[in-house]
Amino acid sequence: MSQASQPAQQPVILTGDRPTGPLHLGHYVGSLRSRVELQHTHRQHVLLADTQAMTDNAHDPDKVRRNVLEVALDYLAVGIDPALTTIAVQSHLPALAELTLLYLNFVTVARLERNPTIKEEIHARGFGRDIPAGFLCYPVAQAADITGFKAHVVPVGEDQAPLIEQTNEIVRRINRQVGAELLPEAQALIPEMGRLPGIDGKAKMSKSLGNSIPLGSSADDIRNAVKMMYTDPNHLKVSDPGTVEGNVVFTYLDVFDPRKEEVEALKDHYRRGGLGDMVIKRRLEEVLQNLLAPIRERRAELAAQPDYVFGILREGTRKSADITQATLDEVRRALGTFSFDKA
Ligand code: TRP
């Protein structure tokens, strides 16, 4: 086997999720699906970002704690393979907290306040002027996550791109100060397919908007979600011409139904009139049931063995703790912070 295919040569990926609820189809399309692919060509690390989740959930640590296992179940159920991907619990990687403290000195408050992601999220969460300092600073912690693993590639949604930019600013400042390419710059990997809309047609599928299909959904949940799905509100009679654009059933068929030509033919028929919502919904339901049934079954099997899942997390966290501690040691040495080992 050639050296090039050895894991040590593979580019490093870091990605993660805030464990604030079980993951849903939007996560599957936006990130989980590609992680299952990328783990074969990259050295992939995934973070259960419970510390970051606390930055806007400090009032409800219980929720964050419980969802660490839920999200881990989602990862394993979709095929993220712990033999190929390390899965770590962020709060148990103390080196990341220390890197964060160091990096906070390489970024200004004004820069943090200008971060478009943060501005948008502060608005969305209604913090007003009462912004938790931890929240304002989480981009710095995320820079610690990314550089702690020396990640080259960070798959994230488009909304997170400014965080990668901010990470790279910190990287450049530190590299300039120490006069070496100590930390690699990271590249955001943004999925081509935009966001999956919610079943109500809103731009984003989200648990808090109540328009999501969780990966562990029962067959009945899936049936009901499809039944409630937003179509074309002006398509009242089967014979009426219908609109495909913005029609969630067609959006989902485009994403999930591999029989593209048949879907195109259905779109033409729907536009002409004479094709009822029931028909397209029945088709989509079958596609989603087939996609989600094996994920649900695997998830239930794993949920019945929490010790096994915790074992996987413990092992992934141990490996990740070593990697991130090694980076912290290097950064400290390069910056020349105090050490008892030095003369
Ligand atoms: N901010 C990410 C989210 O909200 C989660 C996250 C934490 C992350 N650390 C990360 C993503 C490092 C990529 C890399 O989904």
Which residue has the CA at smallest separation from atom 15 of ligand 1?
17
- Return the structure tokens found at 195: 């966001």
Which residue has the CA at smallest separation from atom 2 of ligand 1?
17
Ligand 1 binding pocket includes 331 (Cβ within 6 Å): no
Q: pLDDT tens digits for the chain (343 residues)?
A: 444 445 558 999 999 999 999 999 999 999 999 999 999 999 999 999 999 999 999 999 999 999 999 999 999 999 999 999 999 999 999 999 999 999 999 999 999 999 999 999 999 889 888 999 999 999 999 999 999 999 999 999 888 999 999 999 999 999 999 999 999 999 999 988 778 999 999 988 998 899 999 999 999 999 999 999 999 999 999 999 999 999 999 999 999 999 999 999 999 999 999 999 999 999 999 999 999 999 999 999 999 999 999 999 999 999 999 999 999 999 999 999 999 986 5
Cα R_g (the chain), whole angstroms: 22
Task: Give distance in angstroms: CA of 164 to centre of ligand 1.
Answer: 10
Task: Give distance in angstroms: CA of 322 to centre of ligand 1.
Answer: 20
Task: Give distance in angstroms: CA of 29 to centre of ligand 1.
Answer: 16
Distances (CA, A) of 343 to 195, 232, 338: 55, 74, 10
Distances (CA, A) of 60 to 54, 64, 74, 149: 8, 7, 21, 28
Ligand 1 binding pocket includes 188 (Cβ within 6 Å): no
Which residue has the CA at smallest separation from atom 10 of ligand 1?
16
Spatial distance between the Cα atoms of 149 and 145, rounded to a whole number of angstroms: 7
Identify each DSSP E strand in 81-179 by its residue range. Answer: 85-89, 153-155
Ligand 1 binding pocket includes 144 (Cβ within 6 Å): no
Pocket test for ligand 1, best of 138, 145, 159, 189 (most atoms within 8 A of CB): 145
Ordered strands of the 85-89 beta sheet: 85-89, 43-48, 12-17, 153-155, 187-189
Spatial distance between the Cα atoms of 33 and 298, rounded to a whole number of angstroms: 16
Spatial distance between the Cα atoms of 229 and 125, rounded to a whole number of angstroms: 27
Task: Give distance in angstroms: CA of 212 to centre of ligand 1.
Answer: 20
Task: Give distance in angstroms: CA of 139 to centre of ligand 1.
Answer: 9
Which amino acid is residue 12, in one-letter code? Answer: V
Task: Give distance in angstroms: CA of 49 to centre of ligand 1.
Answer: 7
pLDDT of residue 2: 44
Pocket test for ligand 1, best of 142, 146, 158, 320 (most atoms within 8 A of CB): 142
pLDDT of residue 191: 86
Quickly count: other Cβ atoms within 10 Å of residue 237's Cβ. Answer: 8
User: Using CA atoms in the order 190, 196, 197, 203, what is the torsion angle rounded to 10 degrees?
Assistant: 0
Spatial distance between the Cα atoms of 194 and 196, rounded to a whole number of angstroms: 7
Ligand 1 binding pocket includes 184 (Cβ within 6 Å): no
Quickly count: other Cβ atoms within 10 Å of residue 154's Cβ. Answer: 24
Pocket test for ligand 1, best of 12, 13, 18, 150 (most atoms within 8 A of CB): 18
Quickly count: other Cβ atoms within 10 Å of residue 255's Cβ. Answer: 14
Q: Which residues pair with 133 in a beta bridge?
A: none
Ligand 1 binding pocket includes 154 (Cβ within 6 Å): yes
Ligand 1 binding pocket includes 67 (Cβ within 6 Å): no
pLDDT of residue 62: 98
Spatial distance between the Cα atoms of 242 and 232, rounded to a whole number of angstroms: 6
pLDDT of residue 158: 86
Ligand 1 binding pocket includes 231 (Cβ within 6 Å): no
